[in-house]
Each structure stands twice: as structure tokens, then as C-alpha cells.
Structure 1
Amino acid sequence: MTMVQAIRSALDVMMARDERVVAFGEDVGYFGGVFRCTEGLQAKYGKQRCFDTPICESGIVGTAIGMGAYGLHPVVEIQFADYVYPAYDQLASEAARLRHRSAGEFTAPITVRMPCGGGIYGGQTHSQSPEAIFTQVCGLRTVMPCNPYDAKGLLIASIECEDPVIFLEPKRLYNGPFDGHHERPVTPWARHPQAAVPEGYYQVPLDSAAIVRPGAAVTVITYGTTVHVALCAASETGIDAEVIDLRSLWPLDLDTLVNSVRKTGRCVIVHEATLSCGLGAELLALVQEHCFYHLEAPVERVAGWDTPYPHAQEWAYFPGPGRVGAALKRVMEA
């Protein structure tokens, strides 16, 4: 499966398995979503369970919170992550706090899907990577898969979770892995081992990272599209890098990160979002706190520029294999 097909399969499995699961958002019903992730679901399950909404993100998320509080498991789509800001108050002030402020009487078992990141010539309002504003909110879970197998398993786990989950989908990976050198997938998912997705039900735990490339010289911590960029950089430099895909951005699988950095003694953190106050800053702080006496070199971060999204220069803005490879070499030479 492609990642689009894996996401659609997860929704199909859960809607067939649990009548409490409903899917809605802008163009989600008849049209099947702008990226076709919900294609065919309205025809199969009807307009009561897969339907279109007005262009009102705060209303979409607010409605989902109410549905969740009364027993449903809504899966809503924000058409692009850039559009989520009108709904941020609903997520941070209502969904994230509902379990705690009601002493467990109510929960918000909602999943908020949104395509994120650049690479489709979408300009400033269709290309942002806002994950850090969600990982900072206590009560929200934030997830970002980098391959079809994880996408389906994580989405199923998110839908079954009793807490609100922000499910970020790197749109550059919808149709194939991206190595950072090419503006299109280097190979279709059909020829990639992580595209072997079971048809039925399975879960990938929400709080588990994956070691996608074992190594002993340096740890690379990354997620989403830049997992594939990091793998390319490690291969091109010949450095024995251990590449870790976070998968769950928050809560973190801290044990996997700490054990790896204590083994290698070096660390590079890579993400597409802007550098300052990005998730990489928190990751760096955690590595320093837990691995300081094991480090042989300063921790490096490779990220997007501290600038509004530069549409005309987006391929220079993205961390590519060249920038990641240079960071790997610096920490090895330090």
C-alpha cells in the first residue's frame, strides 16, 4: 500500500469494527479528501458516518470534542496542517483538558488527521510543520508516521485511544519515500519493505520509537520525511549511524533514545520544522540531561530555516542529505 491507501485502510477497518467511529471534515465525504485518504468511505458507510463539513476548523474540532465526550470516536481531517490554528483553542483548552477537568467523567477520544510539511509547491499556507505547538500541550498525543505500515498501525491505535491524538501525515510521503535529492519519491512504495501492510486490524504502539538503521558511531533522532533523508545521508557518508524514527513525538520513547546515545556517544537531531523552539530543542535538552557523561561531541541540530516558509527556495529550506551528512561528519570529527 501507499501511505494514502494505508490510512484509508485503517479508517475502513475501524469503521467496520466499531460503529462509534465517524470521519468528517472539509471535502472528506463525497470527494474523499483532497489527498483521497477517505475515498469510498461515504459510499460504504453512509452520510451519517462519513460526511462533509463547512470550512470552519474550530467547528470541526469542537463538534468532535462533543461527540467524543458522549461516546463516539471521531476522526476529523484538517485539510492542511496550516489550517489548524483557528481550532487550536479547542484542542489546547478543551480537548487536552477534558479528562482532567472532569476528574475522568468525560474524555475526548478524538483523532485529528492533518497533512503536514512542504514539497508539493503549496506555498506558505499549505506547507507548514507545526508539530511543536502540539507536543507542548499536556493532554495531547502527537504522532507522525514515515511509512505505510506505521501509518495504518498508528492510526488504528490513535482511534482506539481514549485521549486526543494529533495525527500528522507528511504529504511528501503519501506516494513514496523521499531521499532529499529528488523532488519526487525515489521509488514507489510498492517496492519498499515498509509498504507490506496487512489488510486487517493491527496496532503500532503510540509511545514506541523505531530503530530503522542500527549503528554504533552516532545516533540520528528524526521523524517523518527526514527519516528517509537521514538514511540517505548515512549511506552516502559511510558513517555507521543509528537512525531512530520517533513515530510518537509525544509522549516520547525516551528509553530508546537514551540507550542509543549512551552507546554511540554522539547525536544529530533532524526535522523539517524551523530550528528555533522546534521539537529538536526539547530532544537536545533531554539528551543532555540523560546522556551528558556519555557524549563525545556537542549535539547537532539540522532543521528548517528560521523564516516564514520560503516557497521559492523550499528545496534549500528542507534539511537534505548534504546538510545532514555535514552534521554527521562534524560530530564524528569533534
Structure 2
Amino acid sequence: MYGLFRTARRLREIGLIGIGERNASYVLRYNPRKFYPRVDDKLLTKQLAIAAGLPVPELYAVVREEHQIADLHDKLAPHDQFVVKPAHGSGGDGILVISGRRGDKYRRSNSLLMSRGEFEHHLSNGLSGLFSLGGQPDHLLIEYCVQFDPIFDQVSYRGVPDVRIIVFLGYPVMAMIRLPTRMSDGKANLHQGAIGVGIDIPTGLTRRGVWGTEIIREHPDTEHSIVGLQIPHWPELLQMAARCYELSGLGYVGVDFVLDRNLGPMILELNARPGLAIQIANGNGLGHRLAKVEALAEAGGLSTDPDERVDFSRRNFPTLG
């Protein structure tokens, strides 16, 4: 019993929040329902980002109807690599990464070949809502396949890492990078076996990582260190994340980025209900950081300038330990 009490006290000390507190105190309080479509529909998110002058992966095609699938083979002929995404997908379900071709077959990121029929079947399933939130009929985006920055060559397994930054009332409060593994089949999804690695807000340096329930310092597939990596374009990433407050209209939002070796940082998607494993990856809780921003709001000190908000975050939210 004493051990449980001590653990609970320690969790309070580091400001760890749970799903119930996240939902009641932040998601429901600060995220107006009318703005959810801005982040739940990846096509709308992309359009809003473009209108705001923020970079996103190039869109090659949108598939809304079954009869459009057969025409895609010719439309995509100029592109050896591309990504298929359900517009309302969740947790990485339904994302198909094509890394090349062999004859009339498509090569997936796991090196397996996919026939035209299998490709069309996957898209048909996506349109039917197999991968969407609530199982509702969906539309599909086909877009540029990111070529990840070479700094991640030794710490990613057959996939593109992404950076998540949680933004509260316009202030970046916590960040991590998600690294694909063999277990995650090359996807940057923690629930499927990717690694979450905490990022220090002031410096952009990676700290420790979490893989499932295990705290790690090396990538399990490559055995290279995941600690001490300098995330490229870090000040720019923070500034872009801060601007997503105005873009989304949501007070509590997760912003996901990819880092292309040629094109630099691009917004991948936004999330109105970002997960909490980011706290474990950082070894720090969100609670104290969120409270500091709320205190700023109560004092009337919130800034409308994204650069000022980033400066505040870099001064106030170092990753301890």
C-alpha cells in the first residue's frame, strides 16, 4: 500500500496526467466541437495549411468514388513512390506506402509486391470506411512520399519518422519523435510498435525513448543510439506548430510533422486528442506545463505572436532528467 502511495505521489510531482483529465480538463474545455472537422479530415487540414502558407506533402489525387480507382494507374504513372491515406483514418490504419514498382506491380515499404488488383481492393476498402473513424464511408488522399532526413538513417526501420508537438493555447508544451521499427512494419505509430523519443523543447535534442512499456536508449533493430540527436529545423518546427493554434481553432492539439531531406519540414496532420505516451517518452508530465500556460491566460498574458509563444516555451519547458 505504501508503495502505491509513493508511486501516486511521484506521478503528481512530475505532473503526469491521465486520459480522463486530458479529456475533461483540456480536450472538452478548449477544443470546440465545430472545429473538429479541421483536424479529423486530412484533406481539409491540408487545404487550411496551404491557405496559411504552411508546407504540406504534395497532393497527387483524391479518390471519392469507386469508379475513380481504375483510372489511378495511369494518373500515378509519373510517380514511382507515393502514399495512400484515408481522409478520416485513425491510428495509421489504412495507410499504404508505395516505395517503387516492378512491372505492373507496386512495391510496398516492406518490400512486398502488390498486384494492381490488390491495390484496387485496398482503395475500395478505404472508400467503404474500413479504416475510417466510426466506419463511415471515406475518401482517400494520394500524396508525395516523404524522403526522410539522413539524420534518421540509423534509427528508423523502413519507414518515415515523424515529430509530434503538443500545442496548448498556441504554446508548444511537449514534443517527441516517433521512429518506425520492424514490429511497427515501418509505420511511425506507437500502438503498432514504433518508438517514442522525447525531445527537449529549448534545444531540439532527443532524450530517452519508450518502446511499448520499455524505456530504451538504442533502436531495437539498428542498435544505434536514439539519444542526443539534433532534430533539424527545430526553431522552424516550433514556430509552425504554434501557428496551428490559429489554423485549427483548437486550444489543445497535437501537430505531426515529417522532415524531408530535400523539402524540409512539412505538416502531416493534426490531432484533437493526442495520446499521452509523449509524457513517458520525455520522463516528464504535461500537467505543470499546461498549468503554466493556463496561469498566463488567467493573467491576460497570452500572446498573439507565434514567435513570442515559442520563445516562452523554450524558456519555460526544458525536459528534466
Fold shared, TM-score > 0.5 on shorter chain: no
User: Could you say which structure has the higher helix fraction?
Assistant: 1
| Bigger RCO of structures 1 and 2 (CA < 8 A, at least 6 apart) | 2
User: Could you say which structure has the higher strand fraction?
Assistant: 2
